[in-house]
């Protein structure tokens, strides 16, 4: 069974809107979350392997082979994501207007 992550993207960003953590686990987590934002806000690229986001969990110390799936919460437009293999999942808020927001539609802003 996976974890459920409730993530406010602003927590990971500095005053310039860039990832604040210079390196280490916090940086890797921020890169994972921002990759999900980019993938979710540009649905036509989800089928491209270049833009697929692999699951970051390591159940039994082995990398999960899952590819993250994402959609939007219809009530507040949070990004909802999950791994279909290990059930790791989460919500990302405050992604609108970030440099990883690749949406062109005003519906999300």
109 in any annotated domain: no
Note down the domain range covering 9.
Answer: 4-104
Angle in degrees, CA 106, 37, 9, rounded to 5: 95
| Residue range 1-43, pLDDT digits in tens | 668 999 999 999 999 999 999 999 999 999 999 999 999 988 6
Please enumerate in sequence order all residues whose Cβ is within 8 A of that of 22, keeping only pairs 6 or more positions apart, or say none: none
60 in any annotated domain: yes
pTM: 0.86
Domain count, the chain: 1
**Confidence (pLDDT) at 107:** 47
19 in any annotated domain: yes
CA 82 from chain centre, in angstroms, equals 9
16 in any annotated domain: yes
H helix intervals, 13-109: 25-40
75 in any annotated domain: yes
């Amino acid at each position: 069974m996976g974890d459920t992550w409730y993530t406010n993207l602003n927590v990971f960003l500095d005053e310039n809107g860039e990832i604040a953590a210079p390196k280490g686990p916090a940086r890797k987590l921020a890169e994972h979350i921002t990759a999900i934002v980019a993938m979710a806000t540009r649905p036509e690229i989800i089928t491209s392997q270049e833009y697929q986001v692999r699951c970051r969990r390591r159940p039994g110390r082995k990398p999960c082979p899952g590819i993250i799936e994402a959609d939007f919460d219809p009530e507040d437009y949070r990004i909802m994501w999950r791994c279909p293999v290990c059930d790791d999942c989460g919500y990302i808020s405050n992604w609108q207007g970030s440099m990883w927001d690749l949406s062109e539609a005003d519906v999300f802003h």
